[in-house]
Structures are given as structure tokens and as C-alpha cells.
Amino acid sequence: MLLKKSTVAFLVFLAVAAFSVIQARSEVMNSGLTIQQQAIIPIAAFAANGDTEKLKSALEDGLSAGLSVNEIKEVLIQLYAYAGFPRSLSALNVFLDLLDTRKAAGITDKVGPAPHELPADAERRAIGTKIQTELVGHSVRGRIYEFAPAMDTFLKEHLFCDIFSRGVLSWKDRELATISILATLPAPAQLASHLRVCRNIGMTETQLKEAAAVLKARVSETAGTLMNDLLEKMYSADRKEGN
């Protein structure tokens, strides 16, 4: 018995709808970086290498992508811990000038939530140690910290406590900025370490390889290739251990 055209059309509609649902679920399960996260990559990278003209364009792209003023400020503030005060201060000045220009043109940018400030009596060593341990996946020790114990103090009490506890950006977003900076410098050993941190806090292979692709396409082929090569080594080692 032949089906009526209306019935066939309805069945086709159901099939298309079902496929759309499956496709949408698949995209969620295999989603890469958000538009905002993609925008963080060139901002962090150009701030790190001091290319102020390209940084200005990246900052404009970031605001257009939906990053708030405070989110971008946090990327540029965190930069100093990995690339030094001169790069961080220069990048903040570029951003401030850009915001002034946009304001004069009648553009209102989203400011976003303010960072958290720790009380003066906070147990900064304990807070920083806890955050560092959660990021890395285990307590951090090593000969270098015995050789230069001040570095251990600065990392725990300042980087992981004062900076990573500020909020505004998620830990994933902060690590995304970090790996973009380290790939651009370049600092391969530290980059490899922070890629493991990214994996440990839940960033997927898809997301990290997309970060490398964005870095390669929008910033530097050398930096993107370095990140991708280290990711291949990391996941290849993971697969061997899994076997």
C-alpha cells in the first residue's frame, strides 16, 4: 500500500528532526573551544611577543567575540607571571588606549564581574598549595625548589594563590592563556608541563589541538607547530600507557 504524500513528508520531517538532535548532541559531546576562548589565544600570544599592532587587533576581536573588559585585563595581568612586567604593562597600555578610543567613538564595552580580593590574613601558602595541587594533579616537589626555595614560595603564594584565586576567568581559560604565552616565547619544557595541567583539569584533546590550530593560523606557525608536536607526544604516551 502506497503512503500518502503528506505521510511521507511527515516521516521525512521526523527523520530530519531526529538527525538534527543527534548532530546537536554530537557537537556538544565533541565541542571544541568557545569563540571567547579562541579569542584569548592571540591576545595572550601577541601580548607575550610584544607585537602591539597585532595585539590591538586581537583585543578588538576579543571584545567583538564577547570577552568582557575584566576578562581581557586578567589575561594581560596574568601575562607578567610568564613573560614579565614590561610585556604585561605594555599590553595593558595598548588595551587602555583602545578602550579610550572606543569610548570616544560611542562604543560601550561590557565590563564584567570584578576579581575577588583575598583578605589580608588569608593563608596564602595553604590556598596556593591547594590550587597548584588541584591543577597539576599531585603535590609539586623537585630539586629546583630545593635549590631556589623562593621560587616555590612565589609560585604557591603569588601565582597560584593571588592570581589563580582572582576569579573572572576559569582555570581552563587561565591555562589556555598560559599555553599560548609559553608556545609563543617559546618555553617548551614549561609548555609541556602546562599542557598536562590542561588535560588534568578537563580540557579535551579536541580543544587543545584546536588551540594549537588557532595559534598556528592567527599568530605563528612555529608556535602552533610546537604546541601540536608536544600534544602529539603527550597523547601518544597516554595511548601507550593505556595499552
- For 7-66, what is each residue's pLDDT tens digit? 434 333 334 333 333 333 333 334 689 999 999 999 999 999 999 999 999 999 999 999
pTM score, whole prediction: 0.82
pLDDT at 8: 38
State the cell numbers at 188.
Answer: 617548551
Question: For 28-37, 58-67, 107-116, 133-142, which range has the lowest pLDDT when averaged over its residues?
Answer: 28-37
pLDDT of residue 241: 77
**Res 237: pLDDT:** 86
Cell of 204: 579535551
Half-sphere exposure of 173 (CA within 13 A, CB side): 24
Q: What is the mean pLDDT of the chain?
A: 87
Q: In one letter, which amino acid is 228?
A: N
d(CA 183, CA 229) in angstroms, rounded, equals: 11
Instruction: State residue 18's pLDDT score.
Output: 39
